[in-house]
Structures are given as C-alpha cells and as structure tokens.
Structure 1
C-alpha cells in the first residue's frame, strides 16, 4: 500500500469510525435522555404510575434533556481534544515520560536517539521528539496529529533489553503508524471515547453524593430514590458506551498492528529485528504492561498491549505469538530468556559517499513515478544511507544540532545566504537581535559550515528541530524574529533558501491545519508559481524550463503559465498556503510533477533533492532518499 493510499484509507477509516461511534452515541443519548427524564419526573414528586412514563416521554422534555446530554458529551470530547492539541508530547507527558536529553551520555539513550534519527532522515521527515518512560516493561508508542508534532516514547525496559536491530525493528513499527496516518486516528479515538466516559463519571458522582450520610439525611422519599436511580443509570449507560467504543477501537487497532509489523520488516529488510523484539516481549517477566495511571486510555497506541484485557474482543493488540508467527513463519514456538541489561554505544560508521549512485540515469517520468512510490516507504537501503550520511557530517555540526544554543546558531549559519552582501547585512542584524551566546556559537561554527557539501543542510536542520522545539516562549520569539530578519535581508533568496526556512518555521511551530478540499483544477495560479520555481532550479535553460511547465500543464489537465521572474518568498508562501489544501488523492500527481521539474537530465542532484524533499515535507509527503529498484538518485536528505 503506497503512502497516499494509506493516508486516504486512514481518513476513510476515521470517518467510518466516527460514524459508528456517532451511532453508538445517538443510542446512548436516547437511553440517557429517558433515564434523566424519568428522574426529573420523580424529582417533581410524581409516583410510579402509568402516567409517569407518558410524562417522561413528552417531546419537549426529551429534547431538552437530549440537548444537555449532547452538550456534555461534546464538551467532554472537546476538552480532551484541547488537552491533546500539543500532539505527541501531550501523550508522552500524560504517561509520565520525560523528553530525552539530546546530549545524553547514557549509552542506551544515545543508541535510541541514533536509531530514531536514522529512521526519520531515511523517511524524509523531521526528527520527532523522543521521550523515555522510566518503566521496566518493553513498550513504545508514536503519537501526534501531524508529521510536525510527532513524539516517540520508549520504555527503559525496551532500551535496556533490546539490541540495536531489535530496537530498530520497534522504531520502524512506530514509524509505520506515523506514515500510515494511524496517529491522527488514535488521538481522535481518545477524544471521542472521553466524551462517552464523562456520562459514566457524572453517574458515579451522583451515586456517591446520594449515598453520602450528611447529604442523604435531608433527602426523603422518591427524590432520593430518583437521584440514586439516575446515578446508577448514568453509570451503566456511560460504561456500556465506553465498552462499545473500546470494542470498535480494539478491532481497528489489531489490524493496524499487523500492518505495522509487516511494514517494519519492509523498512528494515530484517524480520529477525522486529521478530526478536516480539519474542523478548513474550518472554519478558513484565511483558508490555505499563505502570502509568492513564495507560488504559492510550492502550491502542502502544507497541505491546500495555494493559491487561478482560477479553480478546477488547484487546487492542493481537496475541504476541500470532504477531511473531506472521513475521517469522518458521518460528518453532521457543522463546529466549530475557537477556541482561545491555550497555551499548553507537558504533562509528565508516565515512563513505554515494559515489556514482546519484548519477544513474532514468528515463523522464520513470524517476517521477519512482519518487511517488517511495513516499512514506523507507527501505533498508534508505536507513543505511542515512547512517552513512550522518557519519559524514562534521562532528562539531552534528553535536551542535543537539544543543539548543548551538542549534540556533547552526540554523542561522545554514540559512544565511551565499551572497557576500546578504551575509554581511545578516550578520549585522544578528548582532542586534541574537543572544551573545548564540553569536559566539555561530562564530565557532563558521569553519565547519563553510565545508558543508550539497545534501547536508536538510539533514542538519532535521536533526536540530527537536532541540529548537524545546525553546522557551521568549527564546522562541527571539529566534523567530531572527529568522524573519535573515530572510528579509536576503539579496537573492533562492528557492532552496526559502524551502529550508519554511521547513524550520513549520517544524517548530507546526503546520496550520487546513481543510483538504481543493483540486488541481482549482489551483492553476499556485501550481504555475511553484512548478516554475522548481523548473528553473532544475533546468539551466529557461526555454527548457518553460517547456517543462507547459508539458506538465497538459499532463495534469490544468492550464499553467510559466513564471519567468524569480518568485519572492512571500509569493511562494502564498502558493503553498493554497496547495496544502489539495485533496489527498491528487497529491501524488503534484509530487510527480514537482519531480519532473527538477530532473532535467534524468537524475536529481543533491541540492535539487534537498529542495524537492523540503517542499514535499511541507505538503505532508515525507520523501525518502531512494527510488526502490529504479536506482539511487540522490533524492532527499539521506
């Protein structure tokens, strides 16, 4: 299943799931309204007669009560949604996780960060925040709304028990959830189910209040019985609704776990990695059970079940043995003993380059098709290439990407223009706005920054994003002001400078969520501007660039006008603000058209790959560096 199909399927599944839950809520609202209406009638002094039910079924009373119930459920869901609006970090903190220090000296923590960074760069997406749960069980999760607010959480038991291949299999499993759109579905489930739970909580509160000694002494007769009945009824209805919701959640989650396991094998080409992790999970004395008080609410997010289930119907994960059997068909059923705590450190990868791989030629159109097919589907070759690329980066720059002060200086240095006039003006502007400590870091990084090779800027920015997301409000405001000033002072802001700047801003602020309701036919102006900019970046001759855009217009069925003048950053931002509203089904043709614009000779040079990857990411299409069997093209950051 390709990325675009998976994303569409996830959205359709979300719609069906919401419909199912909505039907369940309608039934619950009807039952709850009847229970509350009866309680209201009894509280009004009525006795149980044939007329009591008739009074309770009066349309006006039922409608009023139903509105109140809908309001309660809606507010409960909305409040939980707002609590989780920060994305994955909100989930991780709710489970007691701590953000992993990017400069950690702990060998196991460092190994985890390395694996996550490699997987992110291989996938063509920004490096997510990594959280550590001080829990001895073996478990992990990925949570977030969009690619720019993802957090990955891993337990202490997992990083100390699993070896590097097994840990990579677990992280690949979590990246599958990210790339297949499961995260958004999972968080919406949490919010919807919370609204139903509120009904049961209100019932429990009423039941507790009605049985309190000091309160019940003043209650007499039918009124007290009505409150007791109302509380008990709401509890039963609320928890029955929660059970229905959990059944739906569990059924969907079990299938997504099988898909994530299979994808982990596809990404790493190493079934023993994920298979070994699952076998250790089955053999581990504590299994995957988490100690956090809110573990049950997020059970469908985990690598392992995380909580005990009363029935297979409510289990959010398939049996571990069934998962092992699918990953390792010839497994004989034996389980290894739980290994001792490991203390490993990242092994230095031999520095190497892609050599002549980036120069392999492909026929026009074949490369674009290969690019589209690779979105959201990193391979073992991508992961190996990401590891090599990280090993090639200057050690000083690599370390700077993991420290907040140095990360700011690193990004300033990357985004400062190549034109001497621009750099001089930008340096003067930073002297007046940036912190002295950041300026000192920038000065120490000047030499290694001057030696950056094409293709290294994007991965460095991706590595720096987790550190930049940890800035305080005041630091973030100052950093943003400096970024705006740098772009404003750019004499000749090229497309790559604009794309990298936009990626930094979106990576730390998050993308503005827009409705995806536009089609290519509605976006002729923005398409013309973006494709013309990419064509000029990929073509040395303006005539060839013009011909490429006109040819793509006929292929896409959209009239396109070649824009000959270099676009301003504000114009490109305008275009992207409209293109992000493109429906998912038409993003694949757009990405193919973008690729055709930059491949002027059947290949994509490293700088062109950085540009293509940065623009693709802002459109929500994580672009790996390989094109599968078609050959290596140098696309992307790794």
Structure 2
C-alpha cells in the first residue's frame, strides 16, 4: 500500500469511525433527552397533572432537551479539540513529558535523538519534537494533527532498557503511525469520546450535589428524588456511551498496531529490532503501564498498552505474544532476562552505503517518477543508513549548532542568505539591525563551516534545526520571522531551492493552515503551471528543454499548462502552493510524479535538485525519502 492509498484509507476509516460514533451519540441523545425530559416533568410544580411519561414525550420539550444535549456533547468535544490544537506537544505535556534537551550530554538521550533524527531524514520529513516521560515502564507514542506538529514521546524505561536496534524498531513503529495518517484519527477520537463522557460527568456532579445537600421538605422530596434519579441515569447513559466509543476505538487501534509493527520491519529490514523490543517489554517487570493521569484517555496512541484493560474487547493493543509471532514467526516463546539499564552503543559517525549519488544516472522519467511516488512515506533500511551517513558527514560545528536555539537561528540565516555578494552584504546589514547580538555572534562563528557546506546538506540541517526553532518564545519567534522575511526581500537572485527551504522553515515552525482538499488538477492549471515551470527550469538549464518538459506533462496530466519562462517571485510561488494544498489526496501522487519528471528531465538529479524536490514535496504533505533509492530501483529494473 503506497502513501497516498494509506492516507485515503485512513481518511475513509476516520469517516466510518465518525459515523459509528455519531450513531452512538444519536442514541445517547435520544435516551438522555427522554431521561432529562422526564426529570423536568417530575421537577415541575404540578407533578400529578397528567401522565408524566406522556408529558415528557411532548415534541417541543423533546426538541428543546435534545438541543441542549447536542450542545453539551458538541461543546465538550470542541473544548478538548482546542486543548489539543497544538498537536503532539499538547499530548506529551498532558502525559507529563518534558522536551528532550537537544544539547543533552546524557548518552541514552543522545542515542534516542540520533535514532529519531535518522528516521525523520530517511522519511523525508522534518525532525519531530522528542519528549521524555520519566516513567520506568517501556512505552512510546507519536501524536499530532499534521506533519508539522508531530511529537514523539518515549519513556525513561524504554530509553534505558532497549538497545539501539530495538529502540530503532520502536521509533520506526511510531513513524508508521505518522506516515499512515493514524495520528489525526487518534486525536479526533480523543475529542469525540470526551464529548460523550461529559454527559456522565454531569450526572456524577448531580449525584454529588444532591447527596451533599440538605434534606428538602416533603413537597420537594419528589424533586430531590428526581434529581438523584437524573444524576444516576446520566451517569449510566454517559458512561455506557463512552464504553461503546471505547470498544470502537479499541477495535480500530488493534489493527493499526499490527500494521505499524509490520511497517517497522519493512522500514528497518530487521524483524529482530521491533520483535526484540516486544520481547523485552513482555519480560519487563513494569510492562508498559504508565502512571500518568491521562494515560487512559490516550491509551490508543501508545506502543504498548498503557493501561490495564478489563477485557480483550476494550484492549487497545493486541496481546504481546500475538504481536511477537507476527514479526518473528519462528519465536520459541522464550523471553530475555528482566531488562536492566543498558549502556548505549556509541553513535557511529558514518556507515557504508552502496553507490554514491545514483540519481545522476537516471533513466526513463516515467520509471523514476513511479519509483519516487512509491517511496513516499515508506523509508527503507537503505534510507536510514543513508541518513546516518549524511549526518556523519556534516561538519560537527554545524551539527551542534542545529541543536541550540541561538545557533540554530544563525544556522538557518546562513543557509538562506544568497550566494550573490551584493545580496549577502545587504542581508548581513539587515540582520545587524534586527537580529539579537548573540545570534549574530553565532553566525560569525559559523561562517567558515557554512562556506564549506556540501550540496545536499542544507535540507538535513534545516530539518535538524526545526525542533530547536519550535521552542522559541513568542517574541523570539516574531523576531526570527521578521528576519527571514527581510532576508528574502533583499535577495536579488532568489532561486527555487532558497524559496523552498525558506517555506519549509516557516511551515515547519508555525504550521500550515489546513485547507479543504476539494480541488482536482484540472481546477489548478494556473498554480500548477507556475510550480512545474519553476521545477523544470531548476532541473534544466536550457529553457527550450524546460518548456518541452512542461508541455509533455500537460499531455500526460490532461491539464492545459502554460510554460512560465520568467523566474517567479517567492510570493507568486507561495500563492501557487496555497492553492495546490487544496488538491485531493488521490491526485497528489500524479502531482509528485510530474514534479519528479520536471526535476530530472535532463536525465539526472543532482543533490540540490533532490533537496528542492524533497522540500516542495514535504510542504505538500508528501514526506519523500532520498531519490537515490528510486533511481537505484530504476537502474536495477532496466539492467
């Protein structure tokens, strides 16, 4: 299943799940409306003026009560949704997690950060925020609405008890949830179930208030009993609705866990990694049960079951034995000794890889484009090894700068400043008047390593810097954004790569406004012409050949495209991307294929073109691993 099919499937699953929950809410509203209406009748000053049930079923009363119940459930869901609007960081903080210090000298934490960074860069997405939960149980989670607000949380027990391969398997499992669209589904579940739970909480409040109040006089005795009955009924109805919702949630979650385990094996090509982690979890004295207050609410997000389940029907995770046998069919049932804290393996500076920049030897455009599309959201073991090698090749001063807030800002400024001497001088003067002195000092210190930056290293460095940049205060963020805008405004010869990296930084920090996906390629001929023309010119020095590439794509896509010969302004490209963000999911694959054909129309993809393609793909919600693997697949298929 490719990335786009998986995303569509996740959305369909969300739709079916929401439909089931809506039906549960409708049933809840009907029963609650009847109970509340009956209580209203009994609380009336003339309780014997007719049959109470008949009076409770009056249409006007039922409609009024149902409206109130809908508002309560909707308001409860909305409040929880707003509380979680920050994405993964809100979930991590609700569970008591702390952001991992990006400059940590703790060997275990450094190893975790290395594994997450390698997996993110191999997947073609910015590095997510990493949180540590100071809990000795073995567990992890990934949460967020979109790729730009993802957070990964890992418990102290997992960090200390798992070796590097096992930890990599767990992180690959969590990245599968990210890439298959499970995160959005999971957070919507939390909000919907909270709205249903509000009914039960109101019932409990009524019971508590009635039980602690004074005894009422005889005339109010019936009213007091009605309030008690109403509270008890609302508790039963609310918690029964929550139970139904949890049963639906658990059934879906169990299947997604099997898929994530299988994907972890596919990503790492090492079943012993995820399988070994599951065996260590099974042998661990504390298991995966978390002590966090909100663990039950977010139980379906975890790597292992974070709470104790009453039955298999309410369990959000399959039994560990079944999960182990899925990834290790020949497992003999033995478990390792109860895990102790292990010394982490040292970080390796490099790893041997087959070949070099094989994208330079591409063959047929159609074959490469198909391989590129097939690789989206599906990092391989080669991608992970390639990411490790690239991180090892980066100058240590730049690598360390990406993990420190002041230096990370200086690093991004240095990367985005133009190569033209006049532009660079004007940009440096602008920073002198707007940026903080500490940042300018860091920029001066990075001048030498930045001058030696190799092609293909800009994008990984920006991806590494994003977690540090997301931790800026509101004032720091505003100053940083102002400096970025000033840098782009002063650039005399802004290239496509510079624009794409700038856009990735902005979107990676503040996120992109979520647009409705209701447009087709045929509806977006204007923005599509502008983007593809820009990519074709970047991939082909000959303007005539670039025009030919766009004209051929117009025939393939069935869209009337106009080649834009003049370099586009950054504002025009932002306009085009804002409209292409509304493209339906099913047609994003053809768009990515067209982008790939434009970049490699001259028969090769150099590292800067690969960076451009990956940066643009990510801003469209398509995490793209290295094009080297896709090119290698084409070479192998035509050998």
Quote the residue 2:426 is aligned against: 425
- Could you list the runs of 4 or more consecutive aligned residues of structure 1 that deviate by over 4 angstroms after TM superposition? 46-50, 215-219, 351-354, 626-630
Give the C-alpha shift of residue 591 in structure 1: 0.2
Change (3 A) 1:129 1:48: farther
Do structure 1's residue 151 and structure 2's residue 164 form an aligned pair?
no
Say whether the 8 Å CA contact 2:359–2:631 is kept in structure 1.
Answer: no
Say whether the 8 Å CA contact 1:199–1:237 is kept in structure 2.
Answer: yes
Quote the residue 1:298 is aligned against: 298
Change (3 A) 1:462 1:218: farther
Structure-to-structure mapping, 1:524-543, within 5 angstroms: 524-543=525-544
Do structure 1's residue 69 and structure 2's residue 65 form an aligned pair?
no
Distance of 2:410 and 2:460 partners within structure 1: 16
Distance of 1:100 and 1:219 partners within structure 2: 62
Say whether the 8 Å CA contact 1:110–1:345 is kept in structure 2.
Answer: no
Structure-to-structure mapping, 1:23-422, within 5 angstroms: 23-47=23-47, 51-214=51-214, 220-350=220-350, 355=356, 357-422=358-423
Give 3-state SS (helix, strand or coil) of 1:64's partner. helix
Quote the residue 1:512 is aligned against: 513
Distance of 1:628 and 1:392 partners within structure 2: 19
Say whether the 8 Å CA contact 1:604–1:633 is kept in structure 2.
Answer: no
| 1:323-364 residue CA offsets vs partner (Å, 9 max, x unmatched) | 000000000111111232012253233376853534333212
Do structure 1's residue 494 and structure 2's residue 495 form an aligned pair?
yes
Give 3-state SS (helix, strand or coil) of 2:183's partner. helix
Say whether the 8 Å CA contact 1:206–1:228 is kept in structure 2.
Answer: yes
Aligned Cα root-mean-square deviation (Å): 1.5
Distance of 1:626 and 1:417 partners within structure 2: 25
| TM-score of the two chains, using structure 2 as the length reference | 0.97
Distance of 2:634 and 2:425 partners within structure 1: 35
Give the C-alpha shift of residue 64 in structure 1: 0.1
Give 3-state SS (helix, strand or coil) of 2:397's partner. helix
Change (3 A) 1:71 1:2: same
Say whether the 8 Å CA contact 2:283–2:339 is kept in structure 1.
Answer: no
Change (3 A) 1:538 1:241: same
Q: How many residues align?
A: 634
Change (3 A) 1:605 1:633: farther
| 1:270-321 residue CA offsets vs partner (Å, 9 max, x unmatched) | 0000000000111111100000011000000000010000010010000000
Structure-to-structure mapping, 1:547-558, within 5 angstroms: 547-558=548-559
Give 3-state SS (helix, strand or coil) of 2:601's partner. coil
Give the C-alpha shift of residue 630 in structure 1: 5.0
Quote the residue 2:574 is aligned against: 573
Give 3-state SS (helix, strand or coil) of 1:19's partner. helix
Quote the residue 2:7 is aligned against: 7
Distance of 2:5 and 2:582 partners within structure 1: 17
Structure-to-structure mapping, 1:449-460, within 5 angstroms: 449-460=450-461
Say whether the 8 Å CA contact 2:351–2:388 is kept in structure 1.
Answer: no
Quote the residue 1:584 is aligned against: 585
Say whether the 8 Å CA contact 1:72–1:195 is kept in structure 2.
Answer: yes
| 1:586-625 residue CA offsets vs partner (Å, 9 max, x unmatched) | 0000000000000023331100000000000000000001
Quote the residue 1:447 is aligned against: 448
Structure-to-structure mapping, 1:454-493, within 5 angstroms: 454-493=455-494
Say whether the 8 Å CA contact 1:357–1:632 is kept in structure 2.
Answer: no
Distance of 2:602 and 2:268 partners within structure 1: 31
| 1:197-244 residue CA offsets vs partner (Å, 9 max, x unmatched) | 000000000011111143757983210010001000000000000000
Task: Return 5+ residue gaps in structure 2 as ranges.
Answer: none
- Most deviating of 216-225 and 578-587: 216-225
Give 3-state SS (helix, strand or coil) of 2:518's partner. coil
Distance of 2:457 and 2:352 partners within structure 1: 14
Change (3 A) 1:216 1:260: farther
Distance of 1:232 and 1:540 partners within structure 2: 75
Change (3 A) 1:182 1:493: same
Quote the residue 2:632 is aligned against: 631
Give 3-state SS (helix, strand or coil) of 2:313's partner. helix
